[in-house]
A = this chain, B = another copy of it.
Amino acid sequence: MPDVKRRPCRVALAGFGTVGQSVARLLQQTPEDVDLVAVLNRRVAGKRVDWLDGRVRWTESIDDLLAADVDVFVELIGGRDPAETWMTMALARGISVVTANKQVIAHEGPSLRALAAARGCQLRFEGSVAGGVPVIRAIESGLASDTLTQVAGILNGTCNYILTRMEADGAGFDTALKEAQGLGFAEADPSQDIDGGDARAKLAILALVAFGIQAPAEAIAARSIACVTPLDFQYANRLHCTIRQVARATSAGTPGTLTAAVGPSLVPLTSPLARVQGSENLVTVKGQFGGETSFGGRGAGGDPTAVAVVSDILAIARGARPPSTAPFRRVEHVSAAFATPYYVRFTVSDRPGIIAALAAVFAAHGINIDAILQEPGFPADRRPFVVSLDAAPSEVLETALAEIGALDFHVVPPFAMPVLL
């Protein structure tokens, strides 16, 4: 169809932090008819900058912002509240919304998209997962014809920075975390990153677009990377692996169910996941027809995220149709029952019979021991060793580990990681 002449697309921006400022700068550079007309921020007097067009309205009030005859509301304040309320207000008025807010989209993406569809406007959220990497669009459009069965990825740049630092230099977790904080890669309270809360919200969004399954992010099992030690990298290396925080989900198995988990995992050195360095992100998608496709790049930071946000704005400005508003299946329960090989590190006060005791429990649960690895040179009262196990259902492993954990020789609780072959 021939291009329809449009009035300029009028954009209002809430949140003028790192990403918001990059969005404003990128909008100024775009040759298309997209005008930033209003900016909302707390304490707006201190935020005002001289490099923005003098006609931009600065405000602290959402009503004021949305009243500026706006076509697209860009939400970059983060967090659930008031972001979700503001998005709802905008959509209810028929104003399209672009956001990078993973928490709101993970929880309310489908209902907000339904509202957008009902009001004849759009909700887009490319920036909510993997920063500047256009993976949402790739799944919703580029792989639209395939049936996707698995998504996996490195979705948290902070964890990946810490783990690749530990991998490269043998640095301890605390050292690597402090360094990440010093460089601005990790927040003062890093628990959302370290413990997997950030990655599982992103994984919930990927499950939404890849499988059409909406699951509460909190229902996705997440394990912390804080227990990973430099010694684990040594043992992983002996198994031709390294360690990454991996988020993975599959829709295979019982229809309408989701299996998903986030946590530190052994990945083979030859895997694309092993090659992701520093704060990069990588998402791999498996389809029945297309096989495995991967998307990598800068997963955070103002400029890359701004590319995602402004590309969403341009899609709306160019009159692109809204992405699918197909109904989502809502599930409350998310299984974590992947059947994979496992790596388990024990740290024990050594005495004869420990291996026999462990082996007996694993055998009783039908779990096969693949190898026992023990580096020399540790004191007998705090001796680490590693058992690698053949593939076993995760719930069976957990039962076995609970039994083993109750034995009296542990100095540190057993630490298990799946091996993603």
Contact = CB atoms under 8 A, between A and B. Distances in A.
Interface in A295-348: 295-298, 303-304, 306-308, 310-311, 313-315, 318-322, 324-325
7 contacts: A1-B121, A134-B138, A142-B311, A144-B311, A291-B297, A318-B321, A320-B320
A120 B30 CA distance: 26
A71 interface: no
A126 interface: yes
A2 B290 contact: no
A143 B311 contact: yes
A111 interface: no
A307 B2 contact: no
A298 B290 contact: yes
Nearest to A118: B2
Interface string A1-13: 1110000000000
B296 A294 contact: yes
Contact of A133 (B30, B120, B293): B293
Interface in A117-153: 117-118, 120-121, 126, 132-134, 137-138, 141-147
Contact of A290 (B132, B138, B272, B322): B132
A275 interface: yes
A145 B303 CA distance: 11
Contacts of A272: 275, 296
A272 B275 CA distance: 8
Interface of A: 1-3, 22, 26, 29-30, 117-118, 120-121, 126, 132-134, 137-138, 141-147, 270, 272, 275, 287, 289-298, 303-304, 306-308, 310-311, 313-315, 318-322, 324-325
B322 A1 contact: yes
A351 to B, nearest CB: 45
Nearest to A1: B120
A304 B325 CA distance: 25
B132 A293 contact: yes
Given A141-B315, A318-B321, A318-B324, 4 more contacts: A134-B142, A134-B143, A134-B293, A141-B320
Contacts of A22: 289
A167 to B, nearest CB: 13
B307 A290 contact: yes
Contacts of A29: 147
Given A287-B307, A292-B298, A145 B318 contact: no
Nearest to A146: B307
A294 B291 contact: no
Nearest to A137: B142
Nearest to A295: B295
Nearest to A319: B321
A139 to B, nearest CB: 9
B322 A144 contact: no
A132 B291 contact: yes
A294 B293 contact: no
Nearest to A126: B142
